[in-house]
Amino acid sequence: MNLTKIVSLVRGGHALLIAGANYLPSPFLLAVRLYWGWSFFQTGKGKLLNHAQVTEFFTSLNIPLPGLNAYMAGATECFGGLLLLLGLASRLTVIPLIVTMIVAYLTAEIGTVKNIWSEPDKFTAADPFLFLFASVIVLAFGPGAFSLDRLIAWKCKDSTDRTTNCLHPQAGSQVNAGWRPELLRAAGQTTNQ
């Protein structure tokens, strides 16, 4: 076998690998969203249903307004988890989830944060780590193709005018269609041409 055939086989194999791997992000993001969305929902629901114990725990951590913060953390995790499960407003949803996990690190896991460089294994083994990591993945890469975000974007893409509000197309077309006569006619307005 000569060198050009080997190079050709390697290039062909690499192209197949890349083509196959290009199908993986959306199923991966779906799995991340489903697993961690459900986990956020469960932990948030637990905080809401056991408010007294969570308030007591937050008090032991010297968190100000522990009762209010227990409700806020529980609601953020519970409802944020549901939105993450659905893939609805995903990138916006994970921002408060990330903040909640950072607060969890800075209160309940402060020792692991202080020793992050000397004992990184303790940092990554702490409870908030995987929740935080999953949230950062969705923030960075979006919810993937199997999400309500993508469905809404797909429905909005069908609009011929990018400035049209896809949820209320009539309102958007009347306001924004001034420069395109065919859109004005479709919106029931007349042109002076």
Q: Is residue 96 in some structural domain?
A: yes
Q: In this structure, are 105 and 186 located in the same domain?
A: no
Q: Is residue 9 in some structural domain?
A: no
Count of domains forming the chain: 2
DSSP string for residues in 109-124: THHHHHTTTT-HHHHH
The answer to whether residue 17 scores a pLDDT higher than 90 is yes
Q: In this structure, are 132 and 171 located in the same domain?
A: no
As given in the structure block, the two tokens for residue 26 are 């959306």
Q: In this structure, are 168 and 132 located in the same domain?
A: no
The pLDDT value given to residue 154:
87
Q: In this structure, are 134 and 168 located in the same domain?
A: no
* pLDDT higher at 186 or 144: 144
Each residue of 36-54: pLDDT tens digit? 999 999 999 999 999 999 9
As given in the structure block, the two tokens for residue 126 are 């702490």
As given in the structure block, the two tokens for residue 11 are 């290039």
The answer to whether residue 178 scores a pLDDT higher than 60 is no
Q: In this structure, are 144 and 181 located in the same domain?
A: no
Q: In this structure, are 52 and 74 located in the same domain?
A: yes
Q: Give Dmax over CA atoms of the chain in angstroms.
A: 74
190 is in which domain, residue-wise?
159-193
**Helix, strand, coil abundance in the chain, percent, nearest 5:** 75, 0, 25
Q: In this structure, are 102 and 177 located in the same domain?
A: no
Give the N- to C-terminal CA distance of the chain in Å, as an integer.
71
Each residue of 86-139: pLDDT tens digit? 999 999 999 999 999 999 999 999 999 999 999 999 999 999 999 999 999 999
The answer to whether residue 161 scores a pLDDT higher than 90 is no
Distant-in-sequence contacts of 35-38, Cβ < 8 A, 24+ apart: 35/134, 36/81, 36/84, 36/130, 36/131, 36/134, 36/135, 37/81, 37/82, 37/83, 37/84, 37/85, 37/86, 38/81, 38/85
Task: Decide: 160 and 145 in contact? Cβ < 8 Å.
Answer: no
Mean residue pLDDT across the chain: 87
